[in-house]
Structure 1
Amino acid sequence: MTPRNLRAAAALGAAALAVGALAPAAAASPTGIVWEDTCQAGYQCGHLDVPLSYQDSSAGTVRLALARLPATDQAGKLGTIFYNPGGPGSSGRFAPALTPSLHARFDIVDFDPRGVGASSKIHCFTDPAQLEVLQRALGTFPLTRAAEQQQIADTRVVTDLCEQNAGPLANHLSTGTIARDLDRLRVAFDEPKLRYYGKSYGTYVAETYANLFPGRVGSLALDAVDDPVRWSTGPAPMSYRLQGFADGPRALQSFLDACASRCAFDYDEILNRLERGPITVTDMTGRQVVVTYQNAIARIHGYLTDARSAPELAAFLQALADPASPAPASTGGPPDIDSLLGGGATLCSDAANPREPAVWWDFAHRADRVGRGFGPFDVYKTLPCATWGVADTGRYAGPWNHPTAPILLLANRQGDLETPYAGAQRTERLLADARLLTLDTYGHGSRGKSACVDAWLDRYFAQGAVPAPGTLCAPEE
């Protein structure tokens, strides 16, 4: 989930309240794709109906919306690469070209996972007024005990609404079920083995697929790697177990080192000032914006997910230090609330979490001592899982070391606040046959940031080649 976007959408009161009904029976065969007449330019759109439950064939079906980006060299086409952009809760129906070479030699197919985008979705809200509580409940973290109690109460209202209104699909959204949907897509596209590129949460989809269907693995490229053991199991909140906040200081220090000769601000003093109260800045459009401590951490976190955003981060911090300096404008439109809550159901179905909301406070403070601000921002992302009782019989929680064809892992060694570098290192040792390719930068995701990384992606999908152990690539910028 992306709580930053949830908060913005709730503030605007913008969300679709359409009922995410289960799909009717498809006109084509159970494994057949129904192609549609209209689509985004350059793509071919369709849908595939799959079982609501892979354990109960009588439960009905759900619809997966998909799109294909055709290979530009159809005569020399090598097959299909499936794509997942991450999340959970993110739509990725229209996949990017990945690299020029891969776009030439492969069709690239993505689908909105069940619960997301144009696929069958849950809905939690029946009245736009109910969105007001969402703004208070998600995408933030408490600084006081009183605020903590209010956030727990507001979060419970949201999860109660989801339990009342989401319908049966909410209990069939685990990654184990989504991986089985991916296998149905593989069959529908007549691919004997799965070729796949996934980023962030998309790596957990691939890890699950590889261990449910090890003999069907062709080429899986996992970019910004989630540790599947820490994702799925453990006594602490899952958002604490992943330890993304531990990479926050490392990524921040990389930024500050590069910025040292040009940046006239004291980062810690900025946070000290925000803890005393909000700061009003003027953005580059002339709009005045009130920035709270929580708002600032969310924006800093977002900028640190891509080293190419360093100029915007520098301008934002300078504006907080000197309100006469213009701040960069916020970007991004309102998210699809139903999709993001569908992603929340996936996360809460997958991951073991405490059932007592009060324990999040202590874990957040432990995390804050490791990564100031980033710790509580991360930890409170999973607070809804304490009170949302979703459970999918299709959930998969290991083992994770079934023998497969070689799997390529990509990670950034200077820090990744979403999927920390240490998690990629653990996963290389955990999977039966994985090889880690490291990019020497900070941020979330490596593809498209280095000619070296992209060249290895080309070799891996075309030839099955993986780099030597310990290979390090340099970024382009």
Structure 2
Amino acid sequence: MRNPAPRRRMGWWTAIFGLLLAVPVPASAEPPDTYVDALADAAPAPDLHWTDCDSGFSCATARVPLDYAHPDARSIELSVIKLPASDPAHKIGTLFVNFGGPGRSGVARLRQRAQWPWLFSDALRARFDLVSWDTRGVANSAPVHCFPDATAQQLFFATYPPMPGTPGGEPAFFAAAKTLADACGQRAADLLPHMSTENTVRDLELLRRAVGDDKLTYHGISYGTYVGALYANMFPGRVRGLVLDGSMDFRGNALGADDADADRPVDTRQDVATSLASTFDAMLEACVAAGPECAFSEGDPREKWQRILERVRREPISWDGKRYDYGTVVATAGELSNPAGWPTVAATLQQLYDLRETPYLPTDVLAETAALVRQVADIGTGSAAIPGLPAGLGGTGANTYDDNYTEAFHAVQCADSRVPRDERRYSALAVSEDQRVPVFGRLGVLTAMTCAYWPQTAVRPYSGPWNRKTAPILIINSRNDPATPLAGAAAGAAELADAHLLVVEGAGHSSMYVHSTCSEAAKREYLTAGTLPANGATCPVDGNPFVRTN
């Protein structure tokens, strides 16, 4: 397994000294590009009627065009939430926040995370209204639904095949991915052509105008960095400050560098597998350093990990009512984005190691899963079914369920990215990527398999440009990020006209999960005072996630 990049040890005095060297953002040598997206510019800003919605938050609904090329044809409503600045007398403006995904509710996440001090310090919340929203297609904003009701949705995903760890599991996995794409294509045909991030950026521009800010101040996390990068190029002169946190290779996400690059899935061309492997190694290093406080630390964790893999390659392990086959174990080990969850991953790995010599016995859960499959086939809603789709999933019904994350994720990701559409290409890449990056290689190939079957009319990647002149942009990325590799963040920074990269010397995905007082201070100084960290500055993390603090 590939070793993580060397880590620079830096004490707090070094971190503080680096921030003191920060210099004010200079006036651009060239004025920002005056380009504006004409479709959004022609649309009226929505009227936001804020009402109290508990715990100090205010909520509103924004009406925007579904199709900006035909703004009078149909409108949709976006759910918006605000936490007002705690010091309104010294308020700078609005900080729009996109927490990533795509597919998760920004409204729900702001409620949950607005008080996280490592993400939004008291000083930052004093100066800005925090505003987030459910982006189009998500949760309460014209949600994409691919099933007639919550029961059909839940049964479908309960029986979805696990990520195939070997070629033998691919046919069922491919068939399920196609079934999902077909279901979405039938039930959400009116929405899918309008789910691209270009349209989400147009929505954001209308929201900026609706709150009355002259320019955009924005914190985008993970997928939210893509939203920010597109805004910078669709409205370059309207950027006040953008923080892109847990960032990516923007061109790589959309089209790839060239035709050969486009013939690889998104996570493969972003080289997520290498970053997964390095983050897994970083987790094991932190585990060993924590000693008995990490359940997997005794002995040689890397050797133990290989023993687990050898076992599940032969046959699964039964534990706690679950079936751990090769693909399941690799996926479990790949749950690395949030270091707060590493102790649970380590405890699971230790349990699997302890059970590696036990015979495999099918569990009651497997029987329940088989029963769920039969239930799906028996639902029946009385309408024509999609070929290959279990009866009931293609029927008509009230779209009343709230959590449409998986459907919304694909509606956006598949719209945004050109990917190969031949199953044989994925099978071949799964083999070659596993050879290049043992264990984790195929994860990067198969994570968004549904996009290979997505309706072609709904695939609408942004084609650039990427380097229109803006005010300086701050990019923050962990040294070992399992979702947005540092190399991709550096490539994305180079694609933008004026972006500055701050590296957090730790592992995990974005400052939403990687606690760093230093990086929060750098972000705050940039957003409030217009200063950037010194070139080449790095930040430490706030401790070992396996070590309990009082």
Q: TM-score range by the shorter chain?
A: 0.7 to 0.9
Among candidates 59, 70, 84, match of residue 73 of structure 2: 59
Map residues 385-424 of structure 1 onto 2, 5 A cutoff: 385-391=451-457, 395-413=461-479, 415-424=480-489
Task: Give the TM-score taking structure 2 as reference length.
Answer: 0.74
1:215 aligns with one of 219, 232, 237: 237
User: What does residue 280 of structure 2 align with?
Assistant: 252
1:353 maps to what in 2? 419
Q: In the alignment, which residue of structure 1 is the partner of 2:14?
A: none
Relative to structure 1, is the Cα distance of residues 410 and 391 closer, same or farther in structure 2, using a 3 angstrom cutoff?
A: farther
Q: 2:56 — aligned with what?
A: 42
Match of 1:112 in 2: 134
Amino acid in structure 1 at the alignment position of 2:105: S
- Residue 308 of structure 1 deviates from its aligned partner by 3.6
Deviation per CA, 1:202-238, whole angstroms, max 9, x where unpaired? 0001011111111111110011001111100122111
In the TM superposition, residue 390 of structure 1 has moved relative to its aligned partner by 4.8
Q: Measure the CA separation in 2 of the matches of 1:247 and 1:395.
A: 25
Q: Deviations over 1:180-211 (max 9, x none)?
A: 10000000011111100011000001011111
- Which residue of structure 2 aligns with residue 468 of structure 1? 534
Q: 2:496 aligns with which of 431, 452, 456?
A: 431
> Displacement of 1:146 after TM fit?
4.2
Say if 1:136 and 1:154, in contact at 8 Å, map to a contact too: no
Q: 1:300 maps to what in 2?
A: 333
- Quick one: distance in 1 between partners of 2:346 and 2:174? 34
2:393 alignment counterpart: none
Mapped to 2, the partners of 1:255 and 1:87 lie a distance apart of 23
Deviation for aligned residue 1:446: 2.5
Structure 2 CA distance for aligned equivalents of residues 165 and 93 of structure 1: 25
Residue identity matched to 1:320: L
Give the number of the structure with larger relative contact order, counting CA–CA contacts within 8 Å between residues 6 or more apart. Answer: 2
* Residue pair 2:68, 2:199 contacting (<8 A) in 1 also: yes
Q: Distance in 1 between the 2:125 and 2:497 partners?
A: 29
- TM-fit CA distance, 1:473: 0.5
In 1: Cα distance, 2:79 partner to 2:311 partner: 47
Contact 1:235 1:354 in 2 (8 A): yes
More divergent stretch after superposition (425-434 vs 92-101): 92-101
Query: How many Å apart are 1:469 and its aligned residue?
Result: 1.4
Tell me, yes or no, if structure 1 residue 442 matches structure 2 residue 507.
Answer: yes
The amino acid of 2:338's aligned partner reads D
Alignment of structure 1 residues 363-402 onto 2, 5 Å: 363-391=429-457, 395-402=461-468
State the AA in 2 paired with 1:306.
N
- Report how far residue 388 of structure 1 moved: 1.1
The gaps in structure 2 that reach 5 residues or longer are 1-42, 115-119, 256-261, 357-400, 544-550
Aligned to 2:219, what secondary structure does the other structure show? strand
Q: 1:272 aligns with which of 300, 310, 320?
A: 310
CA distance in 1, matches of 2:187, 2:93: 41
Of 199, 209, 213, 1:191 maps to 213
In the aligned structure 1, how far is the partner of 2:345 from the partner of 2:157? 27
Partner of 2:547: none
Q: What's the offset of the Cα at 1:371?
A: 3.4
Question: For 2:422 and 2:402, how far apart are their aligned partners in 1?
Answer: 28
- Quick one: which of 336, 342, 346 aligns to 1:314? 346
Q: Secondary structure of 1:378's match?
A: helix
d(CA) in 1 for partners of 2:322 and 2:163? Answer: 20
Deviation at residue 306 of structure 1 after TM alignment: 2.6
**What displacement does 1:296 show?**
2.1
Distance 1:267 1:290, change over 3 A: same
Number of matched pairs: 431
Give the stretch that moved more between structures: 347-356 or 315-324.
Answer: 315-324
Which of 64, 86, 90 matches 1:72?
Answer: 86
Alpha-carbon separation, structure 2, partners of 1:45 and 1:238: 35
- Give the Å deviation of 1:267: 1.1
Instruction: Summarize deviations over 1:54-87 as a string: whole Å, max 9, x none.
Output: 1122331111101001111111111100001101
Deviations 1:78-119 (A, max 9, x none): 110000110111111142332221111100000000000111
* Aligned mates of 1:428, 1:396 — CA distance in 2: 17
Structure 2 Cα separation of the partners of residues 412 and 256 of structure 1: 17
Residue 393 to residue 55, structure 1, CA distance change in 2 (3 Å): farther
Residues 81 and 51 of structure 1, relative CA distance in 2, 3 Å threshold: same
User: What CA distance in whole angstroms lies between the structure 2 residues aligned with 1:197 and 1:167?
Assistant: 31
Question: Cα distance, 1:384 vs. partner?
Answer: 0.9
Return the alpha-carbon distance in structure 1 between the equivalents of residues 277 and 518 of structure 2. Answer: 26
TM-score, normalised to structure 1, is 0.85
Deviation at 1:394, TM superposition (A): 6.8
- Taking the aligned partners of 2:419 and 2:195, their CA distance within structure 1 comes to 17
Question: Given that residues 477 and 502 in structure 2 are in contact (C-alpha distance below 8 angstroms), is that contact kept between their aligned partners in structure 1?
Answer: yes
Q: Following the alignment from structure 1 to structure 2, what is the Cα–Cα distance between the partners of residues 388 and 313?
A: 33
Q: CA deviation at 1:150?
A: 2.0
Match of 1:242 among 264, 270, 278: 270
Q: Is the 8 A contact 2:46 2:206 kept in 1?
A: no
Could you tell me whether the CA contact under 8 Å between 2:44 and 2:206 is conserved in 1? no
**CA RMSD, aligned part only?**
2.2
Whether contact under 8 Å (1:136, 1:151) holds in the other structure is no
Task: Identify if the C-alpha distance between structure 1 residues 364 and 227 changes in structure 2 by more than 3 Å, giving closer, same or farther.
Answer: same
Larger radius of gyration between Structure 1 and Structure 2: 2
**Structure 1 Cα separation of the partners of residues 158 and 488 of structure 2:** 31
| Seq. identity, % | 36
